Amino acid sequence: MNPYTLARYHTKAAALLGKPLPTAEQEGEDPDSADLVYEAYGDLLRELTRDRKTYPLVFQELVNYGFRRNLWGMKAIGTAIAALSTAIQVGVAVLALLGKSRQPGAGDMAFLLVDVFMLGCWLFLITPDWVRVAAEAYADRLLAASENLEPK
Protein backbone atom coordinates (compact mmCIF):
# COMPACT_ATOMS: atom_id res chain seq x y z
CA MET A 1 0.00 0.00 0.00
CA ASN A 2 1.13 3.51 -0.73
CA PRO A 3 2.89 4.78 2.45
CA TYR A 4 0.98 8.09 2.39
CA THR A 5 -2.35 6.29 2.17
CA LEU A 6 -1.27 3.92 4.93
CA ALA A 7 -0.30 6.86 7.15
CA ARG A 8 -3.68 8.50 6.50
CA TYR A 9 -5.49 5.26 7.37
CA HIS A 10 -3.43 4.90 10.56
CA THR A 11 -4.29 8.45 11.63
CA LYS A 12 -7.98 7.84 11.01
CA ALA A 13 -7.84 4.49 12.82
CA ALA A 14 -6.26 6.09 15.88
CA ALA A 15 -8.99 8.75 15.92
CA LEU A 16 -11.81 6.23 15.54
CA LEU A 17 -10.39 3.83 18.12
CA GLY A 18 -9.34 6.55 20.52
CA LYS A 19 -5.99 4.81 20.76
CA PRO A 20 -2.85 5.00 18.61
CA LEU A 21 -2.08 2.04 16.42
CA PRO A 22 1.10 0.11 17.19
CA THR A 23 4.28 1.23 15.49
CA ALA A 24 6.33 -1.19 13.40
CA GLU A 25 8.68 -1.62 16.36
CA GLN A 26 5.81 -2.36 18.74
CA GLU A 27 4.41 -4.89 16.26
CA GLY A 28 7.78 -6.61 16.14
CA GLU A 29 8.06 -6.72 19.93
CA ASP A 30 4.51 -7.91 20.61
CA PRO A 31 2.73 -9.09 17.45
CA ASP A 32 -0.15 -10.68 19.40
CA SER A 33 -1.01 -7.39 21.08
CA ALA A 34 -0.77 -5.55 17.75
CA ASP A 35 -3.11 -8.12 16.18
CA LEU A 36 -5.67 -7.45 18.92
CA VAL A 37 -5.64 -3.72 18.13
CA TYR A 38 -6.07 -4.37 14.40
CA GLU A 39 -8.82 -6.89 15.11
CA ALA A 40 -10.64 -4.33 17.27
CA TYR A 41 -10.34 -1.78 14.48
CA GLY A 42 -11.70 -4.25 11.93
CA ASP A 43 -14.62 -5.02 14.24
CA LEU A 44 -15.32 -1.29 14.61
CA LEU A 45 -15.16 -0.65 10.85
CA ARG A 46 -17.50 -3.53 10.07
CA GLU A 47 -19.98 -2.26 12.64
CA LEU A 48 -19.84 1.35 11.43
CA THR A 49 -20.23 0.46 7.73
CA ARG A 50 -23.19 -1.93 7.93
CA ASP A 51 -25.58 0.47 6.17
CA ARG A 52 -25.80 -0.89 2.59
CA LYS A 53 -27.11 2.37 1.17
CA THR A 54 -24.40 4.53 2.70
CA TYR A 55 -21.59 2.06 1.92
CA PRO A 56 -22.69 0.16 -1.21
CA LEU A 57 -19.14 -0.66 -2.33
CA VAL A 58 -18.29 -2.18 1.04
CA PHE A 59 -21.41 -4.34 0.85
CA GLN A 60 -20.70 -5.34 -2.76
CA GLU A 61 -17.16 -6.44 -1.90
CA LEU A 62 -18.40 -8.31 1.18
CA VAL A 63 -20.90 -10.23 -0.95
CA ASN A 64 -18.18 -11.04 -3.51
CA TYR A 65 -15.81 -12.21 -0.78
CA GLY A 66 -18.53 -14.31 0.90
CA PHE A 67 -19.45 -15.93 -2.40
CA ARG A 68 -15.86 -16.88 -3.16
CA ARG A 69 -15.18 -18.08 0.40
CA ASN A 70 -18.30 -20.27 0.30
CA LEU A 71 -17.32 -21.76 -3.07
CA TRP A 72 -13.87 -22.56 -1.66
CA GLY A 73 -15.61 -24.28 1.27
CA MET A 74 -17.66 -26.39 -1.15
CA LYS A 75 -14.75 -27.19 -3.48
CA ALA A 76 -14.54 -30.91 -2.62
CA ILE A 77 -18.26 -31.45 -3.15
CA GLY A 78 -18.39 -29.33 -6.31
CA THR A 79 -15.37 -31.09 -7.79
CA ALA A 80 -16.83 -34.51 -7.02
CA ILE A 81 -20.19 -33.65 -8.59
CA ALA A 82 -18.58 -32.12 -11.68
CA ALA A 83 -16.25 -35.12 -12.07
CA LEU A 84 -19.13 -37.57 -11.72
CA SER A 85 -21.26 -35.63 -14.22
CA THR A 86 -18.37 -35.51 -16.67
CA ALA A 87 -17.74 -39.25 -16.28
CA ILE A 88 -21.41 -40.01 -16.91
CA GLN A 89 -21.48 -37.85 -20.05
CA VAL A 90 -18.27 -39.46 -21.33
CA GLY A 91 -19.78 -42.91 -20.63
CA VAL A 92 -22.91 -41.99 -22.61
CA ALA A 93 -20.75 -40.79 -25.52
CA VAL A 94 -18.59 -43.95 -25.46
CA LEU A 95 -21.65 -46.23 -25.42
CA ALA A 96 -23.07 -44.32 -28.38
CA LEU A 97 -19.81 -44.64 -30.31
CA LEU A 98 -19.78 -48.39 -29.64
CA GLY A 99 -23.32 -48.62 -30.98
CA LYS A 100 -24.78 -49.67 -27.61
CA SER A 101 -27.12 -46.66 -27.39
CA ARG A 102 -28.50 -43.83 -29.49
CA GLN A 103 -26.13 -41.36 -31.07
CA PRO A 104 -25.39 -38.37 -28.82
CA GLY A 105 -27.25 -35.24 -29.85
CA ALA A 106 -26.32 -31.60 -29.57
CA GLY A 107 -27.82 -31.51 -26.08
CA ASP A 108 -25.58 -34.36 -24.93
CA MET A 109 -22.51 -32.61 -26.28
CA ALA A 110 -23.59 -29.33 -24.65
CA PHE A 111 -23.95 -31.08 -21.29
CA LEU A 112 -20.51 -32.63 -21.69
CA LEU A 113 -18.95 -29.26 -22.46
CA VAL A 114 -20.66 -27.65 -19.47
CA ASP A 115 -19.53 -30.51 -17.21
CA VAL A 116 -15.93 -30.24 -18.40
CA PHE A 117 -16.03 -26.45 -18.00
CA MET A 118 -17.40 -26.72 -14.46
CA LEU A 119 -14.83 -29.34 -13.52
CA GLY A 120 -12.09 -27.04 -14.81
CA CYS A 121 -13.50 -24.15 -12.78
CA TRP A 122 -13.63 -26.21 -9.60
CA LEU A 123 -10.10 -27.51 -10.13
CA PHE A 124 -8.27 -24.45 -11.42
CA LEU A 125 -10.27 -21.29 -10.71
CA ILE A 126 -11.49 -21.77 -7.17
CA THR A 127 -8.27 -21.48 -5.18
CA PRO A 128 -7.12 -19.76 -1.99
CA ASP A 129 -5.54 -17.01 -4.11
CA TRP A 130 -8.89 -16.42 -5.87
CA VAL A 131 -10.55 -15.99 -2.46
CA ARG A 132 -7.69 -13.78 -1.20
CA VAL A 133 -8.19 -11.31 -4.08
CA ALA A 134 -11.79 -10.76 -2.97
CA ALA A 135 -10.80 -10.57 0.70
CA GLU A 136 -8.23 -7.88 -0.07
CA ALA A 137 -10.72 -5.93 -2.20
CA TYR A 138 -13.17 -6.02 0.71
CA ALA A 139 -10.48 -4.84 3.11
CA ASP A 140 -9.55 -2.01 0.73
CA ARG A 141 -13.19 -0.84 0.50
CA LEU A 142 -13.57 -1.06 4.27
CA LEU A 143 -10.46 1.03 4.86
CA ALA A 144 -11.46 3.54 2.20
CA ALA A 145 -14.89 3.90 3.85
CA SER A 146 -13.18 4.72 7.14
CA GLU A 147 -12.23 8.11 5.75
CA ASN A 148 -15.91 9.10 5.81
CA LEU A 149 -16.41 8.08 9.44
CA GLU A 150 -16.24 10.42 12.40
CA PRO A 151 -15.11 9.52 15.92
CA LYS A 152 -17.89 9.31 18.49
Query: How does pLDDT run across 89-128, given as a tens digit for each residue?
Result: 898 888 887 877 777 677 778 889 999 999 999 999 999 9
Same domain, 83 and 142: yes
Same domain, 85 and 36: no
Same domain, 86 and 130: yes
Q: Give the list of residues 6+ apart from residue 83 with CB closer than 8 angstroms, or none.
A: 119
Give the structural domain span for 96. 67-152
- Name the domain count of the chain: 2
Same domain, 14 and 79: no
Same domain, 46 and 92: no
User: For 55-83, what is the mean pLDDT?
Assistant: 98
Which among 14, 8, 131 has a CA at the least distance from the CA of 70?
131
Using alpha carbons only, how large is the chain's radius of gyration in Å?
24
In a domain, 60, yes or no: no
In a domain, 112, yes or no: yes
Is the pLDDT reported for residue 152 higher than 90?
Answer: no
User: For 7-27, what is the mean pLDDT?
Assistant: 92
pLDDT one-digit tens code per residue, 117-151: 999 999 999 999 999 999 999 999 999 999 999 98
